[in-house]
């Protein structure tokens, strides 16, 4: 019984860490859009691409370790992409 509790605990921690990293990316992009650059700027695109790539690698690693399911990782990325898309659209409408 202890082993299954440990696995569940690792799963929850992995999910929380990945979600926190996704939230950090969203906050970083919000700050960048509010204060520094516009979405059309190459710097904005480079930061976004780099951050998204890093998160996707983290998720891939967690999946390969069996800490999260592949669909769960995809859901984290999809959710972040939807939030970033909405943020981008709101920025363009300003």
Domains and CATH numbers, the chain: 2-93 (1.10.287.750)
Q: How far apart are CA 23 and CA 61, in angstroms?
A: 19
C-alpha–C-alpha distance, residues 41 and 73, integer Å:
28
Segment 26-80, tens digit of pLDDT: 998 888 777 765 656 677 778 788 999 999 999 999 999 999 999 999 999 999 9
pTM recorded for the entire structure? 0.81
49 CB burial (10 A radius; 0-12, 13-18, 19+): exposed
pLDDT at position 36: 61
Position 93 pLDDT exceeds 80: no
C-alpha–C-alpha distance, residues 27 and 75, integer Å: 19
């Amino acid at each position: 019984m202890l082993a299954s509790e440990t696995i569940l605990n690792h799963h929850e921690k992995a999910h929380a860490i990945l979600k926190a990293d996704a939230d950090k990316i969203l906050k970083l992009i919000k700050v960048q859009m509010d204060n520094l650059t516009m979405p059309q700027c190459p710097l904005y695109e480079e930061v976004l691409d780099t951050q998204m790539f890093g998160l996707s690698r983290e998720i891939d690693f967690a999946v390969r370790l069996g800490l999260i399911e592949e669909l769960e990782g995809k859901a984290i990325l999809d959710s972040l992409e939807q939030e970033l898309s909405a943020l981008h659209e709101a920025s363009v409408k300003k």
